[in-house]
Amino acid sequence: MSRKEPSLDPLLAGAYAPSMSRRAFVRSATIGTVVIALGGAGYCLASEEEEKKARATKRPDGRPRLPPGQHLLSRIRPMGGVEGDPSPGGWRLSVSGEVEQPFTLDMAELLKMTQVEQTCDVHCVTKWTVLDAKWTGVKLADLAARAKLKPSARHVIFEAHGGYTANVRLTEALDPSVMLAHKYEGQPLARAHGAPARIIVPDLYFWKSAKWITGVRFVTSDKPGYWETRGYHNHADPWKEERYG
């Protein structure tokens, strides 16, 4: 039986639904270099040759660099959502839950922590991928170390403006590639991309990388987030095409 795209609560769909439907994107992704209108801007799909090269290239773990069903774009695209206050001066992040030393930090404190620059690939459930996206921020593992995780912690809940949440297994959340980012391509995050800070979880579909982040809560048991409770897969591995549950 073929899967159907999950329907959304009509009262909530407008808040987080992307400006182009998932199936419309795939229909637009014709062979060759094509410019399509996504969210009011032009986004360039890579050529067939570039996509073949990406699929043939292997990651260190042996998986193809371009997951199945994905198409290349040159830059990440805005995916909607309830936007938070983009002002760095008004931003606060709480780190709480199964930790010995919960804390809240502001942007000035975040910038005092060890900063890392990371280049990684981004995979959206709407079937676009951007290779070599450049981010600047702080490793989530550093925030966890500062909070002193309890042995009981097993999962992480990312909390964001507007009631958005996304759940990630602790083992994956503490991977060195997972970070709290405040810059994209060397520039402060645009509001549409989650300014002033967002989570980046490169090896899961991009909805797990919560924008307008307000909290990181470590928990003992899993709690499906905003999209997971609306039919999306609870894990979200792009190479297994874990799009819908």
Domains of the chain, with CATH numbers? Answer: 13-240 (3.90.420.10)
27-31, 35-39, 169-173, 211-215: least confident range: 35-39
> Which residue from 147, 156, 143 is spatially nearest to 110, judged by alpha carbons?
143
Tokens, residue 104 = 């809240």
Helical ranges in the chain per DSSP H: 13-16, 22-28, 48-56, 107-112, 140-147, 170-173
Half-sphere exposure of residue 37: CA atoms within 13 angstroms, side-chain side: 1
Q: Are 44 and 215 in contact (CB under 8 A)?
A: no
Query: Letter for the amino acid at 9?
Result: D
Instruction: Specify the residue for token string 């990388």.
Output: 209
The pLDDT mean for the chain works out to 86
Dihedral pair phi/psi, residue 16, rounded to 5°: -120, -10
102-151 per-position pLDDT tens digit: 999 999 999 999 999 999 999 999 999 999 999 999 999 999 999 999 99
Please choose, from the candidates 225, 230, 164, 207, the residue with its C-alpha nearest in 3D space to the C-alpha of residue 7. Answer: 230
Cβ neighbours around 119 below 10 Å, total? 10
Could you tell me the pTM of the whole model?
0.84
Mark residue 194 as left, alpha or beta (left: phi above 0; alpha: psi -120 to 50; beta: remaining).
left
What the block records as the tokens of 200 is 């980046």
What confidence tens digit (pLDDT) does each residue in 15-64 have?
A: 333 334 434 444 544 333 333 333 334 457 778 888 889 999 999 999 99
What pLDDT sits at residue 57?
95
E strands, the chain, are: 34-38, 41-45, 71-72, 92-97, 103-106, 116-123, 128-139, 155-160, 165-169, 179-184, 187-188, 198-200, 213-219
